[in-house]
């Protein structure tokens, strides 16, 4: 499944990095601890978090993640969005909580 | 690897906007050299944690990256407070990070164990009040 299909299915806002919308997604990871994501996320996953600072993009890029989904109406900091543009890794947004959006994502892309 | 290569990067203490820069440069170099993807993944995780530790705890530091014939050697040297009890610092969940750093999602006490899991050798030397030297060896 592509990032763009997830955007459509879950009605997500695209804040930045739209050139990465056609990337393939292999699964998801949910965490607000950067070392947890560094240690345990896999390439091509979407990362669900409420962290909005620039280091989120450093981690997403180093781990080759497909996209970041900010929950509960959070918006990326300006320099976070700028780096997302540069890396071509989309930052997406939802008003749903991490629990709600993760449940929907799990239904959509399964337990990969 | 036929040729041996050496690179150096500076890391500023407290400058989170640049945290991960050295690790990302190292990743780019390894990709360009067509190093095995698994090796790159392990190197990136170990390096990022070491780099963030300098940013979160030290005043300034530098990264020395050597590509040798059958291994990568990455040394992170900083001027900073040093580590009082390295064994304690290695304990998963133990952290001395500030509240502010924790709120950013760092300082969960997972950094050193991430380094240990991903490096083939991890050597830490530290002098309280002076600084720390972290050496990461990854076999290629």
CB pairs under 8 A between A and B: 59
What is residue A92's predicted lDDT score, i.e. its pLDDT?
98
How far, in Å, CA of B128 to CA of B116, rounded?
Answer: 22
pLDDT confidence bin for A8, thresholds 50/70/90: very high
Q: Which of residues 62-81 of A touch B (CB under 8 A)?
A: 62-63, 79
3-state secondary structure string, B1-56?
Answer: CCCCEEEEEEEECCCHHHCCHHHHHHHHHHHHCCCCHHHHHHHHHHHHHHHHHHHH
Interchain CB distance below 8 Å, B20 and A34: no
Q: Which one of A38, A51, A53 has the shortest CB-CB distance to B48?
A: A38
Interchain CB distance below 8 Å, A55 and B106: yes
DSSP code of residue B140? -
DSSP code of residue A95? S
A32-88: pLDDT as tens digits? 999 999 999 999 999 999 999 999 999 999 999 999 999 999 999 999 999 999 999
What is residue A52's predicted lDDT score, i.e. its pLDDT?
98
Interchain CB distance below 8 Å, A39 and B105: no
Q: Which one of A51, A54, A62 has the shortest CB-CB distance to B48?
A: A62
What is residue A110's predicted lDDT score, i.e. its pLDDT?
77
Q: Which of residues 53-82 of B touch A (CB under 8 A)?
A: none
Q: Would you say residue A6 has pLDDT above 60?
A: yes
Q: Which of residues 90-109 of B touch A (CB under 8 A)?
A: 104-106, 108
For residue A77, the chain B residue with the least C-alpha distance is: B17
The arithmetic mean of pLDDT across residues B100-110, rounded, is 93
Q: Which domain range does residue A65 map to?
A: 3-109
In chain B the domains, ranked by start, together with CATH numbers, are 5-139 (3.30.565.10)
B30-64: pLDDT as tens digits? 999 999 999 999 999 999 999 999 999 999 999 99
* Strand order across the beta sheet in which B60-67 lies: B5-12, B60-67, B71-79, B131-139, B121-127
How far, in Å, CA of A72 to CA of A96, rounded?
Answer: 5
CATH of the domain at A43: 3.40.1390.20
Could you give the ipTM of this predicted complex? 0.92
Q: Give chain A's domain count.
A: 1
Q: Is A42 on the interface with B (CB under 8 A)?
A: no
Tokens for B72?
A: 């990568």
Do B71 and B139 touch, CB atoms closer than 8 A?
yes
Tell me the nearest-neighbour CA distance from A41 into chain B, angstroms. Answer: 11
């Amino acid at each position: 499944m592509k990032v763009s299909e997830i955007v459509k299915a879950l009605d997500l806002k695209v804040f930045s990095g739209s050139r990465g919308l056609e990337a393939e997604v292999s699964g998801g990871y949910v965490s607000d601890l950067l070392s947890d994501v560094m240690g345990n996320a896999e390439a091509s996953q979407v990362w669900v978090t409420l962290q909005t600072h620039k280091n989120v993009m450093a981690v997403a890029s180093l781990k080759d993640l497909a996209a970041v989904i900010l929950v509960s109406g959070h918006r990326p900091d300006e320099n976070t969005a700028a780096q997302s543009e540069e890396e071509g890794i989309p930052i997406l947004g939802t008003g749903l909580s991490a629990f709600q959006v993760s449940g929907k994502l799990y239904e959509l892309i399964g337990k990969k | 690897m036929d040729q041996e290569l050496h690179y150096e990067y500076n890391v500023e203490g407290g400058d989170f906007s640049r945290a991960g820069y050295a690790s990302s440069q190292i990743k780019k170099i390894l990709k360009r050299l067509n190093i095995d993807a698994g090796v790159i993944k392990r190197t990136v995780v170990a390096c990022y944690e070491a780099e963030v530790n300098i940013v979160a705890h030290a005043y300034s530091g530098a990264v020395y990256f050597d590509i040798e014939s059958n291994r990568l050697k990455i040394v992170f040297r900083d001027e900073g407070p040093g580590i009082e009890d390295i064994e304690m610092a290695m304990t998963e969940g133990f952290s001395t990070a500030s509240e502010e750093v924790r709120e950013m999602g760092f300082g969960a006490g997972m950094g050193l164990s991430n380094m240990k899991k991903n490096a083939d050798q991890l050597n830490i030397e530290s002098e309280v009040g002076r600084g720390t030297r972290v050496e990461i060896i990854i076999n290629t």
